[in-house]
Amino acid sequence: MKKKLLVLGMVLLTLLQPLAIAADELVDLTKKMYPNDNVQAYNRPKSSLVIDANTGDVLWKDNIDEVRDPASMSKLMTLYLLFESMKQGKVSKDAVVTATASDQAISKIYEISNNNIVAGVDYTVPELITMTVVPSSNVATIMLANLMSNNNPDAFIDRMNEKAKELGMTNTTWNNPSGAAISTFQGLYNSYNYPNEMANQTTARDLAILVYHFIKEYPDILNYTNQAKVTVKEGTPYEETFDTYNYSLPGAKYALKGVDGLKTGSSPRGAFNYIATIKRGNQRLISVVMGVGDWSDQQGEYYRHPFGNALIEKAFSDYRYKKLLDKGVQTIDGKTYTLSEPFYATVKKGEESPKLVVKDGKLVAENEMVTLSSKISDELPVTEGAVSQEEGAAVPQTKKKFSLPLDRLVILIPVGIIGVILYLEKEKRKKWVEDAQKRYKK
């Protein structure tokens, strides 16, 4: 029996070794970057992921498909739908939401509130966005959700889940718009089709998919997430100033070069979570850490940033976003193609540039990297043959034919006639001289 248990133990250790290596590497990286922070292995993220935000290529992953509670990072889906609604013209950025008595009451619920809302006061859409992303206001999130759904919670949550499927978030279920279970709103916000006690469920991979699309399609969100301190309704009786929970932003405790967003979240079930976006030069990364620390230790809101920052620095150290071909006519595998824009790819530093191939009219870098989702592609459509940039039409590869404009032809005709006459006169004179010479010899 003991022998069987020993064999079983060895098998389990073999299966778990890849995860242990990844976890140990993350802890070691973090301790090296923050030697004075008492980094503990038991606080490490349960899931972690870094991707290239330009290509969707995965640069680091550890347990990225474990389903977890994202807590307030759920607000990113509500904001994505808001920006989509603004693009579609369904919601105006200049819209004003007048706070109701219910909104004010929600803002007074201690367990889920971190800002004031006053009934009868007008709040602009940008103010509500700011309060949603920086202090992570649950009531501001609900006000935006109600604006988009005409106060129909179930219709809005339906839309959240439909969008998740559309984006390829295959392990995500939304049960509320803000990350706070609907039951915590004490009857002031209700759903009849979704379990009011349930937290939202998603994964590090799915959150990275959401953020990838958010930044690609609506980069203006970063103008709301890139400041460590913000003020709303400045100069009014309702003015409030908020400090960010994103301590990797410039000016915050764990400031890191290039960080300009995006969202944090925490809950008893989900522990401490963090999504960062970082840009250096033309290279942008997205880093996701989930399940840092334990809810009983509120210092977890600080523990998450060293782990996330260490992964970010590792990714920048290991990879670069490199231009492989310029815009215009290029030769690939002996064939001529026209690129409408320069072609970039994620490249591991210290390795040769990947082979470029054209498949089904699309240029691909064979860099052996895994892309985050089948719905994300870093391929570039190309046109076979040389293309006129002005006309946008293919130029056939044939020999040039000689041709003259009509105005030049009109000028050349008289000149040609005069030339013929002169030639004939010359020949005539030559004949006369020859005849004269013959008569003289006689």
Q: DSSP letter string over 357-391?
A: EEETTEEEEE--PPBS-TT----EEEEES-B-TTT
First to last CA, the chain: 141
- 136 in active site: yes
CA nearest to 169, candidates 213, 199, 119, 138: 213
User: Distance between CA 31 and CA 420 in Å, rounded?
Assistant: 95
Residue 296 annotated as catalytic: no
Closest-CA residue to 292 (of 2, 16, 69)? 69
Side chain identity at 340, as an amino acid letter?
A: S
Place of tokens 């460590």: 228
Helix 138-149 and helix 153-167, axial crossing angle in degrees, nearest 10: 90
Residue 270 near residue 68, CB atoms below 8 Å = yes
Name 336's bridge partners.
Answer: 331
Q: Is 47 an annotated catalytic residue?
A: no
DSSP letter at 350 equals T
The phi and psi torsions of 258 (rounded to 5 degrees) equal: 95, -10
C-beta separation of 26 from 44 below 8 A: yes
Q: Smallest Cα–Cα separation from 117: which of 82, 143, 145? A: 143
Could you tell me whether strands 328-332 and 47-52 are parallel, antiparallel, or unpaired per DSSP bridges? unpaired
Ligand-binding annotation for 165, yes or no, is no
Task: Decide: 66 and 46 in contact? Cβ < 8 Å.
Answer: yes
8 Å CB contact between 52 and 321: yes
Task: Tell the burial category of 382 from Cβ atoms under 10 Å away from its Cβ (0-12, 13-18, 19+).
Answer: buried
The distance of Cα 283 from the centroid of its chain, to the nearest Å, equals: 11
Q: How far apart are CA 77 and CA 87, in angstroms?
A: 15
Q: Of 47, 48, 61, 72, which is the active-site residue?
A: 72
Contact between 73 and 245 (Cβ < 8 Å) = no
The pairing of beta strand 259-267 with beta strand 271-280: antiparallel
Catalytic residue, candidates 74, 85, 136, 248? 136
Residue ranges of the alpha helices (H) in 88-236? Answer: 101-107, 125-133, 138-149, 153-167, 204-217, 222-225
Could you say which of 61, 75, 163, 314 is catalytic?
Answer: 75
Q: Binding site membership for substrate: which residues?
A: 263
Q: Which positions are annotated as active-site residues?
A: 72, 75, 136
Q: Binding site membership: which residues?
A: 263
